[in-house]
Each structure stands twice: as structure tokens, then as C-alpha cells.
Amino acid sequence: MDWNRQQVAAIARIRATLSPSELEKAEKVKRINDRYLGLTRDTTFSLAFNNLVASVAWHDPQDENRPGKRRILAVCGESGAGKTRTIMEHISLIEAMAPYTDEDGGTVNPVLMYEPPSPCTPKLLAIEGLRKLGMPVRASIRENEAWDTFRVALKAHKIMFVVIDEAQHAVVAANAVDQQKIADAFKGLVQMPDWPVRLILAGVPPLAEFLSEHEQLFTRRTAIRLEKLEGTQGLATIDEILSKIAAHGEVSLNLPTDPNVKFKERLSHAGSGNFGTIVQMIRGAVELAVLEGAPEVSKVHFEKMYMAYSGCLEHENVFTHAAWQELEPLKAFMRVNDKAPRTRRERGEKQIKFGDRP
């Protein structure tokens, strides 16, 4: 079955139900979300990616085992920091990472990007890479065989850049032995004398800890940490992206400027200080204004957006609550009765054994 054809037809049917005005608004919302918002940290990303490409250009098969070569780029940050979007943007800007037609007339994509399953094992990490390449994998394959097959497959498919997103899945629940196996596998990927591979790892802080504990990776990686938007500099960045996204939506801003209201501080708190999450929230508020046909984005749009995003009660909205600093956005959806019931041990009651009456 041709799923692409089916998808195009299904979307066309949906579009046929919308009025020209609704279609125009939908297209505007798409343009808002498609735009990439660069920061000063993009300069660091650009340098790191260019260095990876350059290291392939001067690849020397006779010198692959020399330590100190930075063949791994690690991007760490909290969920919602904008790791994946930033990586994809920079890949799209580098000609050496773009698909091309090889000497046999085939199309080659030198970048393989995939996400490990969760929970994960060293073997599953290799198997998922093989599956992403479209290769059949038998269930009985041994761990070392899976990694050998993966390395051969990378050469056969002319993959030079492997991006593992949410890489913490591979290590967060792994014991010391499995973590060492993964570290050895990563080292093996970037040290193949007959084919240069560069590795890009993205994940939340457990990944940073893993990379710091294995010297064989520490000496081979460049690390970029995506920090939270905090303090005066963070608020200035929020101010900048507010203006940019409003311009993308072709609407003006009508937001509180009273320092006592602390609107930008509330927005930062609502997004836990994470750039990607804050961008999504601003886009969500602008999207509401666009769909309403409003000429400006107001505080009310942010209130509605936050309620939709968080599932909070109306009186616990970060943008209206007097004691907003005390609210926990990640728990806004929870209610009093949502907590798991305490166990007998937690209540101090006697544990019931098999055969006892309760």
C-alpha cells in the first residue's frame, strides 16, 4: 500500500472542509512553527559541526587509534531545551551532511538519525540503528554480532554522521557493565580505520554523567550544554523571542510592562527556564491570536495557552496567581486525588503474609 499517497489524500480531504480564511490562518500557524529561532549559542554549534566535518576531510586510516581526536559531539540539556531542533537546523545548513547522488546514480544520505528504545540494552541500541537503515534483524542475533553488522551497514550505506537522539535511554537504566559496553561501542564506531564515522549524542543530564565517567569518551568528545534562560540575560532572550515570534505571526504585542507583574519571569517559570518549552508556549499564545483573527497578542492569550498546555485549574494559572513562584508547572495537571495510595508499610501497618486474614 502506498502510504504517502494515502496521507496526501487524507490531508486533502481535511483541507477541503476548511474555508479560504481558515486555510490562510492554518498556513500562517505553520509558518510560525517552521521558523528557526537562533541564539548566540548557535555560533558554538556551528563551530562544533564544522569541526566534525573537517575531521572527516582529514581522515587518516593510519592514525585512527591516536587519542585526543574529537569525533563525538555531545549536546546535553533538560527536556525542552531545544536540543533536537537545533541539531536538525545545523545539519540542514551543512552541505557535507546533505543527501547526494553517488557515482552509481543512487541517492545517499550521509546522516543517520535515530532514537534508542526505552528501556534499552547495548544490543537493542545497535538493532535500532539497523532497523532505521531498513535492514532486517533476526531476534536471535548476538550483541557483538549486532554491533559488527551495524558498523558494516554504516559503510555499506555510506553513513558518516550518526545522530542518537534521547541517548540517555541507552544508559539511564544500564548497570556498570552495560555502560562500559556502550562506551566501547561508541568508541568503536568513531575509530573504524576503513570508514570515518562521527557521532552526535543528544540527551538529558544522565547522558552528561555517563560521558564524564568514561575517559575513553571524554578524550574524544566536544560537549555543549544548553543552559536554562535565567537571570537578566535569560529575560533579555525571552524579550527577543517574544518580538520575533509575534513578527512571524504578523501580530503586535500587548503585554504587561509593569515590573511588579513580572510577566517575563512568569513565562520563564511556566517553561521551567527551558528555551524550547518557552518558544512553544509563545508560539501557542501567538497561534491563539492568529486563529481568533486578533491583531495583537495579550496576556489573556498566554493565560489560555498555559491552561491548555498544563491542564491547571483556573485559579492556579502561573500568569494570574499572586504566588506564582510557588506553583510547580510540571505538576499543574495533578489533583489531590491523583497521588498513588500509600502502601501498608508507609502507613505503618503490619504486612499481610500469605494465609493471613487482612
Q: Domain segments of the chain: what residues?
A: 41-226, 229-332
Residue range 111-139, pLDDT digits in tens: 999 999 888 899 999 999 999 999 989 88
Cβ pair 115, 127 in contact under 8 A: no
- Percent composition of the chain: helix, strand, coil (DSSP 3-state, to 5): 50, 10, 40
| CATH classification (class only), 41-226 | alpha beta
Average pLDDT over residues 55-71: 69
What is the per-residue pLDDT for 96? Answer: 94
For the ranges 1-5, 35-39, 163-167, 255-259, the maximum mean pLDDT occurs at: 163-167
Is pLDDT at 341 greater than 70 in this prediction? Answer: no
What is the per-residue pLDDT for 357? Answer: 45
Whose CA is closest to 223, among 88, 76, 47, 54?
A: 76
Average pLDDT over residues 82-105: 94
Residue 119, preceding peptide bond in cis (omega within 30° of 0)? yes
| 245 Cβ contact list (under 8 Å, min separation 6) | 32, 35, 37, 279, 282, 283, 286
What angle in degrees, to the nearest 10, is found between the helix axes of 275-292 and 231-248? 30
Query: Which of 1-15, 17-31, 195-209 has the weakest average pLDDT?
Result: 1-15
What is the per-residue pLDDT for 58? Answer: 81
3-state secondary structure (DSSP) of residue 352: coil
Whose CA is closest to 247, among 276, 286, 293?
A: 286
Q: Parallel, antiparallel, or unpaired: how do β-strands 107-108 and 100-101 relate?
A: antiparallel
- What span, in angstroms and rounded, lies between the C-alpha atoms of 204 and 51? 23
Cβ pair 25, 250 in contact under 8 A: no
Is pLDDT at 225 greater than 60 in this prediction? Answer: yes
Mean pLDDT (the chain, rounded): 86
Is pLDDT at 13 greater than 60 in this prediction? Answer: yes
Cβ pair 159, 110 in contact under 8 A: yes
Is pLDDT at 352 greater than 70 in this prediction? Answer: no
Is pLDDT at 207 greater than 80 in this prediction? Answer: yes
Residues belonging to the chain: 358
Any bridge partners for residue 297, and if so which? 253
Whose CA is closest to 289, among 235, 238, 237, 242?
A: 242
